[in-house]
């Protein structure tokens, strides 16, 4: 079964806090029919940015969450058996190509390398998708855009993007927002008071400083928002931060205890 989603029309504009000129760069890439690669740590806003830009450009979007078992057929499509016999069902990539939509492959390096090769003719000036099983040579409809993302922290010899694939993309680097921007994001997304949001962001930055020493992943903006929502709903800050910004980062009890000490130091044991 294909793991993809096509969002329904939204009544409210999706909130996105720009960090620089990424919106303008993305829009120029779209206007010139260039594929885009977004790289940045987990939870820094990559997926939100793509959804925001799809909304801003007025394009539908197909999102695919990539994984080890993702096959080319999951992206392109396959023959299925129904009541009236065999029929062809487009995958999310093919649908995007036909409709002139944005196809967003999240954490693309999780997919097998032989799967991502199918992207090559779409990610250069040909902008075509050969469908071997149906004999089609599908030209991308106007408005089609290929976007992929990954976390550079996962890069290793086994998990990486082939140079022949990487060099077909315009690349934008994302990171966690600066303190002021992240505070504004947390306030907007959770409704918490600005003063408490500022303390949570300070805590997140303190935890991020430990990343290279004890943690594989840093505390993401997403986790900061989770903590803020729980605190606003009445959960004590210490408990809210432990279950959102300590336990999700590691399974090692000693490391969790060390992170909890940092949380306690920042909040000073306040109850709510």
Give residue 62's pLDDT. 97
Q: Is the pLDDT of residue 32 over 90?
A: yes
| 231 alpha-carbon distance from chain centroid | 25
Query: Is residue 11 scored above 50 in pLDDT?
Result: no
DSSP string for 207-259: HHTTHHHH-SSPPPHHHHHHHHHHHHTT--HHHHHHHHHTGGG-S-HHHHHHH
Grouping H, G, I as helix, E, B as strand and the rest as coil, residue 180 is helix
% of the chain at pLDDT higher than 70: 90
Q: What is the DSSP letter of 104?
A: E
Confidence band, pLDDT 50/70/90 cuts, at residue 154: low
d(CA 235, CA 267): 14
Report how far residue 25's alpha carbon sits from residue 40's, in angstroms, rounded to the nearest whole number: 16
Element spanning 146, H or E: strand 145-150
How far apart (Å, rounded) are the C-alpha atoms in residues 42 and 33?
A: 27
pLDDT tens readout for residues 34-75: 999 999 988 899 999 999 999 999 999 999 999 888 889 999
Under a CB-based contact definition with an 8 Å cutoff, are residues 7 and 51 in contact? yes
Q: Write down the pLDDT at residue 52.
A: 96
What single-letter DSSP state applies at residue 14? P
Quickly list H helices, 16-101.
22-31, 46-57, 72-76, 92-99
Q: Which pLDDT score is estimated for 7?
A: 47
Q: Which two tokens stand for residue 227?
A: 């903590």
pLDDT of res. 176: 92
pLDDT tens profile 190-232: 999 999 999 999 999 998 887 655 677 788 999 999 999 999 9
Kind and range of the H or E run holding 143: none
pLDDT of 2 > 60? The answer is no
Contacts of 125 (CB under 8 A, 6+ apart): none
Residue 80 parent element (H or E): strand 77-82
Say how far apart CA 97 and CA 122 lie, in whole Å. Answer: 9
Structure tokens at 57: 């450009």
């Amino acid at each position: 079964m294909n793991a993809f989603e096509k969002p329904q029309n939204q009544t409210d504009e999706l909130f996105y806090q720009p960090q620089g000129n990424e919106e303008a760069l993305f829009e120029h890439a779209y206007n010139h029919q260039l594929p885009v690669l977004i790289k940045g740590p987990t939870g820094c806003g990559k997926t939100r940015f793509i959804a925001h830009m799809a909304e801003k450009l007025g394009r539908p979007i197909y999102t695919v969450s990539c994984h080890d078992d993702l096959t080319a057929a999951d992206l392109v499509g396959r023959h299925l058996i129904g009541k009236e016999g065999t029929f062809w069902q487009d995958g999310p990539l093919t649908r995007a190509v036909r409709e002139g939509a944005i196809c967003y492959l999240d954490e693309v390096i999780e997919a097998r390398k032989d799967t991502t090769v199918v992207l090559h003719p779409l990610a250069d000036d040909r902008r075509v998708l050969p469908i071997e099983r149906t004999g089609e040579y599908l030209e991308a409809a106007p408005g089609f855009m290929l976007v992929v993302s990954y976390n550079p922290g996962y890069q290793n010899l086994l998990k990486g993007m082939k140079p022949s694939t990487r060099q077909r993309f315009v690349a934008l680097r994302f990171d966690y927002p600066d303190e002021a921007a992240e505070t504004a994001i947390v306030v907007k997304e959770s409704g918490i008071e600005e003063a408490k949001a500022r303390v949570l962001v300070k805590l997140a930055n303190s935890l991020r400083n430990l990343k290279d020493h004890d943690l594989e992943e840093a505390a993401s903006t997403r986790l900061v928002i989770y903590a803020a929502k729980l605190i606003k709903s009445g959960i004590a800050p210490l408990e809210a931060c432990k279950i959102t910004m300590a336990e999700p980062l590691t399974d090692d009890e000693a490391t969790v205890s060390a992170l909890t000490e940092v949380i306690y130091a920042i909040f000073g044991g306040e109850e709510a």
